Structure 1
């Protein structure tokens, strides 16, 4: 009996120590190693989820996905391709294309530079980076809040249809968003004890190199850090200036080498986009567009949760909300607007959505289920169905690489930059598209080639190809154009070889299907 009492007393005395040890271990470990109730680690789940995400996005979004990244990288490594006017005028930094070019060079050295790997390998790397951003967002919230808020923030991040749609694409906006999310993990949010000025400023500097407009997102955050910092001189002299000077210097040297002349792309970017307002050439929207269309579409079903979360979030997160509002306001002042421009602040919005879901208690599981269902449809539709034709058609054209005689000659009679180019063909066959560079000379009567063509397609073709010897072997066009040039096609013996679905929502010059016409060989002589 005495032994039993002694044993019980020892156990009761040791239990608090064990609990303290467990609690200490919980708060000292890296939260990225947290394990979900179902046994999957957050790292493994995030990577697997984004890999699935990558393969279930088989559509096109915007031309910059290819023309400002893959096409430039392909030309750098393989020596042929097309550069848009931004690269001839020196307003783009090579920092991001060089990253993809390194991937291409690795494939080339190993002898695996097939067209499939050139298309998918950069996207797979982006999937891994997107998974890392998801993990770091969870880790940030987990350090500042209890596990419930962190898990629901992570859930909101993964369930966002727009993040699913964009995060594995080779867009500078995607890399800007990833770097911004990683930088936030080291940013001195009030209450955070694991921040690092050098780490987050380095990531911010990289984001600005990739896309100078990243500075818009970070301006209020940098100002807040400066005002809250006790040793301001050290922050500037030991962190900001050295990091800024090093990254800008390295980027400038890289651009000067690759452009073959002295080039400061950041200055050129401001000169063309602010002073010359070149962006307006590609369309303008009313000032309220981000409030009435842009943000509601990007946030999607998360919109109500975001508004609800803004009323619940502690005061220390107001600087993050200020960054979101500031970014939307600044972009609203610019005439040219796109959904992807506000993508970098979407992870910040997910924090507020996480607070909202965590506060719903008994209602949060039904709300989470509804959130998944409402995001699933647009995610799968936009990723697998909408605007996929411009990628599928390149797969058909790639077969022309195996045609020895006659030499293929492809003309794209589509709005300029509708399709990718050599990065999705990977052989130097002759290809041409209707160009649309902006006027940089101040000529008010300037009309680009694409607009000239669509003003009178049949006349343009007859004048351009007055001699049959100049006729291309293949024409690629949207179905909405076929009726206007049908006579030209019949006279010159073009036969439709392929019809490819593109979208259920045709708009103007963009049709629902893409046609590939081939000129018959027996009538291809003068």
Structure 2
């Protein structure tokens, strides 16, 4: 009898164990399904948001957006286009333009290489990458801080006007910020459950290939990882050295193929821009510019939240604050400064902004409303209105590709160099020229073509085109130049045919409107 009872109890225990296993398996499946649904919802929202973002940015920002990416890719695939002096001096790498060249080559192969697709598909690709980075960023914060902080950090990140303005552009800085955000999701932050040394170091190597100065923001993070790692020898021998060496070999091979000679781009970039100070040619600012203007502008209305978040999580995310301060400090030592250079620190800043928002109670609705409205107004203005003439004028000039009359169009841009895109936004071999501004590469008393023109525009035009037959058929210029060259325009029968708005804030050689003059 006792044996029977023991067997019965043993059987019940077995059933209980099996039941618990089934329940735990069911919970795992349910958790997995819930996580998958969360990922799909966040991904669908991010893709939709960034696609809207992409098509609502219709203005120009800086010349590199076209001249160091799309123009190079167009030249690689279609064998015409203008390569700036950087590509002749070997200080730019072909890896980033190669990404767009693949898109162009595919469109050409499918006979779908319309100018509309050549302009927008690279932007759409950049937007999709930015959306992917957004998703990874959200789930990183959720693993670190929980659902509440993740939602508010994501809200702050998507509200950022400067991220909206930049992330879908074909700038190396945009790709740098996107890859940095992706790499951060695998970086060994405190309490991170998605850490992968291999994945984040591959992404870091890639971003340094795209833009060598990305090493600045990642240097303190790499040192932190090394310091925290227990098996330092394995980290160096299995990850740092193999991944770094592979990146150098692959990028150098790509550059050697397209330069058709041995070219070490990273060294050339450092030599020209830092040791020889070539970057100073494009302007210089005081050392404090990033602290007093640059960082304040790009973080915008988020600044109070960032400062509050720093006070809340100074100890927990000290390494991120070190990376932000280090990056801004190093760039402050360089004379040439631009807003876009420190753009990659923004995702790091958003973590502190999200912590601040999550910590608020009574003031949260008001803070969220102010943040949303102010950023939205700035984003829509800079994305749809400010400096849009540079793109509108190229859309207008593209119609000249279909002109069959003689003489064939000959367009001269009398503007500060690289004010507009070029063949990547025309996609036909029209004759076009502009005022080049190559820096002094050791030619003694050197004055670039643009400066020679602006020293005396009327004299330059008359000396450059002494005979009417050699004159261009179209002139593109800012309104501030019109009065100064009006005698030349009248003498040579140029008539203003188009006027396009450019900016409400004209300065120096850049005017409020762009004029197109045509010779009759």
Q: Deviations over 1:153-182 (max 9, x none)?
A: 000110000000000000000000000000
Task: Find the aligned partners of 1:233 and 1:202 in 2 and give their Cα distance.
Answer: 18
Task: Find the aligned partners of 2:223 and 2:22 in 1 and give their Cα distance.
Answer: 44
Task: Find the aligned partners of 1:457 and 1:364 in 2 and give their Cα distance.
Answer: 56
Q: CA deviation at 1:243?
A: 0.9
Kindly indicate whether the alpha-carbon contact (under 8 Å) linking 1:189 and 1:316 is maintained by their aligned counterparts in 2: no
SS, match of residue 484 in structure 2: helix
Relative to structure 1, the CA distance from residue 137 to residue 30 in structure 2 (aligned partners, 3 Å threshold; closer, same or farther) is farther
Q: Deviations over 1:218-255 (max 9, x none)?
A: 00000000010011111111111111111110110110
Task: Find the aligned partners of 1:113 and 1:412 in 2 and give their Cα distance.
Answer: 25
Relative to structure 1, the CA distance from residue 358 to residue 111 in structure 2 (aligned partners, 3 Å threshold; closer, same or farther) is same
| 1:34 paired residue among 26, 38, 53 | 38
User: Residue in 1 aligned with 2:251?
Assistant: 251
User: Residue in 2 aligned with 1:4?
Assistant: none
Q: Deviations over 1:297-356 (max 9, x none)?
A: 000000000000001116231111110010000000000000000000100000000000
Task: Find the aligned partners of 1:179 and 1:103 in 2 and give their Cα distance.
Answer: 19
Task: Find the aligned partners of 2:158 and 2:447 in 1 and give their Cα distance.
Answer: 44
Kindly indicate whether the alpha-carbon contact (under 8 Å) linking 1:188 and 1:196 is maintained by their aligned counterparts in 2: yes
User: Residue in 2 aligned with 1:116?
Assistant: 116
Task: Find the aligned partners of 1:325 and 1:426 in 2 and give their Cα distance.
Answer: 43
Q: Deviations over 1:384-416 (max 9, x none)?
A: 000000100001100110112221100000000
Q: CA deviation at 1:361?
A: 1.8
User: Residue in 1 aligned with 2:280?
Assistant: 280
- The alignment of Structure 1 onto Structure 2 pairs a total of residues equal to 502
User: Residue in 1 aligned with 2:302?
Assistant: 302
SS, match of residue 510 in structure 2: coil
Relative to structure 1, the CA distance from residue 382 to residue 26 in structure 2 (aligned partners, 3 Å threshold; closer, same or farther) is farther
SS, match of residue 516 in structure 1: strand
User: Residue in 1 aligned with 2:420?
Assistant: 419
SS, match of residue 484 in structure 1: coil
Q: CA deviation at 1:194?
A: 2.2
Kindly indicate whether the alpha-carbon contact (under 8 Å) linking 2:140 and 2:194 is maintained by their aligned counterparts in 1: no
SS, match of residue 497 in structure 1: strand
Relative to structure 1, the CA distance from residue 286 to residue 30 in structure 2 (aligned partners, 3 Å threshold; closer, same or farther) is farther
User: Residue in 2 aligned with 1:164?
Assistant: 164
Task: Find the aligned partners of 1:451 and 1:80 in 2 and give their Cα distance.
Answer: 27
Task: Find the aligned partners of 2:60 and 2:222 in 1 and give their Cα distance.
Answer: 34
Q: Which runs of 5+ in 1 are unaligned?
A: 1-15, 521-526
Q: CA deviation at 1:365?
A: 1.8
User: Residue in 2 aligned with 1:385?
Assistant: 385
- Identify which range, 333-342 or 18-27, moves more after superposition: 18-27
Task: Find the aligned partners of 1:401 and 1:27 in 2 and give their Cα distance.
Answer: 58
Q: CA deviation at 1:468?
A: 1.2
User: Residue in 2 aligned with 1:407?
Assistant: 408
Q: Which runs of 5+ in 2 are unaligned?
A: 1-19
SS, match of residue 81 in structure 2: coil
Task: Find the aligned partners of 1:192 and 1:25 in 2 and give their Cα distance.
Answer: 23
Kindly indicate whether the alpha-carbon contact (under 8 Å) linking 1:32 and 1:42 is maintained by their aligned counterparts in 2: no
Structure 1 residues 505-524: aligned runs within 5 Å: 505-520=505-520
Task: Find the aligned partners of 2:381 and 2:36 in 1 and give their Cα distance.
Answer: 31
Structure 1 residues 13-412: aligned runs within 5 Å: 33-34=37-38, 41-313=41-313, 315-404=315-404, 405-412=406-413
Relative to structure 1, the CA distance from residue 259 to residue 320 in structure 2 (aligned partners, 3 Å threshold; closer, same or farther) is same
Q: CA deviation at 1:193?
A: 2.6
SS, match of residue 505 in structure 1: coil
Kindly indicate whether the alpha-carbon contact (under 8 Å) linking 2:173 and 2:344 is maintained by their aligned counterparts in 1: yes
Q: Deviations over 1:47-74 (max 9, x none)?
A: 0000000000000000000000000000
How high is the TM-score relative to the length of structure 2?
A: 0.94
Kindly indicate whether the alpha-carbon contact (under 8 Å) linking 1:479 and 1:512 is maintained by their aligned counterparts in 2: yes
Task: Find the aligned partners of 1:26 and 1:139 in 2 and give their Cα distance.
Answer: 18
User: Residue in 2 aligned with 1:9?
Assistant: none
User: Residue in 1 aligned with 2:5?
Assistant: none
User: Residue in 2 aligned with 1:504?
Assistant: 504
How high is the TM-score relative to the length of structure 1?
A: 0.93
